[in-house]
Amino acid sequence: MPLRIGVPRETAAGERRVALVPETVAKLVKDGLEVVVESGAGAAAYYPDDAYTAAGAKLAPSSASVLGGGGIVVKVSPPTAAEAALLVPGTILVSFMNTTRSLDAIARLRDGKVTVFALELLPRITRAQSMDALSSQATVAGYRSALIAAENIPRIVPMLTTAAGTIRPAKVLILGAGVAGLMAIATSKRLGAVVEAYDVRRAAGEQVRSLGAKFLELAINAEGAGGYARELTTEEKAQEQKMVSEAVALADAVITTANVPGRKAPLLVSRETALRMKPGAVIVDLAAESGGNCELTRPGERVIEGGVTVLGPLNLPSEAPFHASQMYSKNVQSFLGLLVGPGGALTTPFTDEILVASLLTHDGAVTHAPTAALLGAPK
């Protein structure tokens, strides 16, 4: 019996992505796997059912039959507790898990003896790059954020010299130059903006400059473990606030992307700083979901105060679902390459360091220490 890969339709509000696209399905089927896709799973991302059947997938009428069929189930958003309850013992789930927010579902998966690999726990090592779903989706989010900023300012972005006079280019400031920030810089540059960026990791400076943007530098280097940023000291935070405040006041649009893994997002733009911006200026806060980089941000909402608009968009990758799904699907395919050996058999035990790091639950236990601590011992 070939190993079965199940692809349910995503059910989270506003989620338009799908975990596998037909092109990837064709490759998995060629490798000897059986792929079962819930009817309509790719519709919102413009991958119709007939493209999946042409790729060799079987269509299933309901999520219950996909989730309850065993094998490996691949998803984008974490399952709800009800979806988790449909997975039979021994099923392997590969998905983003929002480990701090999906505790009910994780408890069910643990108790239901489902093996869960959470893609956000993947180590950021070179060998894992092709599986790095956080990066692929942050790329899409960064791209979208620059378009949202451009659409919401009352100005034209590029410099124009016309018979009706000269228009000066818009100034865009990017705070946090990780994966999303760098894509926001590149996209804003392509639109013709004058771009400045800031990050606490000094290594980001070279990448920012190579994209043709100016890097705002503090005498701080807060590069922490695994290439991520560490939290700043109180004194460092004060220095940062002062420099950021001056740059924000001059910008037409600010895009904030700063995050510190496992912590609330750093507050970079206070209310006072935001109100120093000119009327019509816009802040797009990509950290809205993890607490926001701007004091005025409300997740999922548009706040207008003192003529300044603050947007806290949620799930931006889902706004470009076709390509976000294509990239995610490629990440999942690479990850499955670690789980499934030649001939389509499961590679057990899970000893590869990438599998070990991303394993969230297995055999009735939560194997990720911070999540286990949040959940307490199983009942």
Ligand X SMILES: NC(=O)c1ccc[n+]([C@@H]2O[C@H](COP(=O)([O-])OP(=O)(O)OC[C@H]3O[C@@H](n4cnc5c(N)ncnc54)[C@H](O)[C@@H]3O)[C@@H](O)[C@H]2O)c1
Residue nearest ligand X, CB atom distance: 178
- Residue 298 and residue 271 in contact, taking contact as beta carbons nearer than 8 Å: no
Residue 132: active-site member: yes
SS3 71: coil
Question: Closest approach of Cβ 18 to ligand X, in Å?
Answer: 23
User: Which of 44, 186, 200, 255 is in the footprint of ligand X by CB under 6 A?
Assistant: 200
Q: Which of 50, 104, 129, 209 is catalytic?
A: 129
35 is a contact residue toward ligand X (CB under 6 A): no
Question: Closest Cα to residue 153, out of 253, 249, 251, 294?
Answer: 253
Residue type, 269: V
Phi, psi angles (nearest 5°) of residue 189: -65, -45
172 is a contact residue toward ligand X (CB under 6 A): no
Q: Which stretch binds ligand X (CB under 6 A): 102-110, 144-152, 225-233, 273-281?
A: 225-233
Residue type, 184: A
Q: Which stretch binds ligand X (CB under 6 A): 107-115, 253-261, 296-304, 335-343?
A: 253-261
Q: In the 3-class helix/strand/coil scheme, how is 111-174 assigned residue by residue? A: HCCCEEEEHHHCCCCHHHHHHCHHHHHHHHHHHHHHHHHHHHCCCCCCCEEECCEEECCCEEEE
Question: Closest approach of Cβ 124 to ligand X, in Å?
Answer: 4
The alpha carbons of the chain give a radius of gyration, in whole angstroms, of 22
Q: Which stretch binds ligand X (CB under 6 A): 134-142, 277-285, 298-306, 337-345?
A: 134-142
Question: Closest Cα to residue 174, out of 157, 153, 206, 197?
Answer: 197
User: Which of 34, 38, 83, 132 is in the footprint of ligand X by CB under 6 A?
Assistant: 132
Residue type, 125: I
DSSP for 289-324, written as a single string? GGT-SBTT--TT-EEEETTEEEE----GGGGSHHHH
Scanning residues 266 to 285, which ones bind ligand X (CB under 6 A)?
A: 266, 268
User: Which of 43, 156, 167, 232 is in the footprint of ligand X by CB under 6 A?
Assistant: 232
Q: Which stretch binds ligand X (CB under 6 A): 65-73, 251-259, 314-322, 348-356?
A: 251-259
SS3 74: strand
For residues 298 and 313, give the distance between their C-alpha atoms in angstroms, rounded to a whole number: 9
227 is a contact residue toward ligand X (CB under 6 A): yes
User: Which of 150, 211, 260, 324 is in the footprint of ligand X by CB under 6 A?
Assistant: 260
Residue 135: active-site member: yes
Question: Closest Cα to residue 95, out of 3, 32, 12, 2?
Answer: 12
Question: Closest approach of Cβ 207 to ligand X, in Å?
Answer: 7
DSSP for 23-50, written as a single string? HHHHHHHHTT-EEEEETTTTGGGT--HH
Residue 129: active-site member: yes
Q: Which stretch binds ligand X (CB under 6 A): 73-81, 101-109, 124-132, 143-151?
A: 124-132
215 is a contact residue toward ligand X (CB under 6 A): no
- CB closer to ligand X, 30 vs 127: 127
User: Which of 35, 94, 177, 216 is in the footprint of ligand X by CB under 6 A?
Assistant: 177
For residues 101 and 140, give the distance between their C-alpha atoms in angstroms, rounded to a whole number: 23
- Residue 287 and residue 260 in contact, taking contact as beta carbons nearer than 8 Å: no
Question: Closest approach of Cβ 69 to ligand X, in Å?
Answer: 33
Four-CA torsion 341, 346, 352, 353, nearest 10 degrees: 130
User: Which of 25, 134, 269, 355 is in the footprint of ligand X by CB under 6 A?
Assistant: 134
Q: Which residues bind ligand X (CB under 6 A)?
A: 124, 126, 129, 132, 134-135, 138, 175-181, 198-201, 204, 227-229, 232, 257-261, 266, 268
- By annotation, the residues acting in catalysis are 124, 129, 132, 135, 228
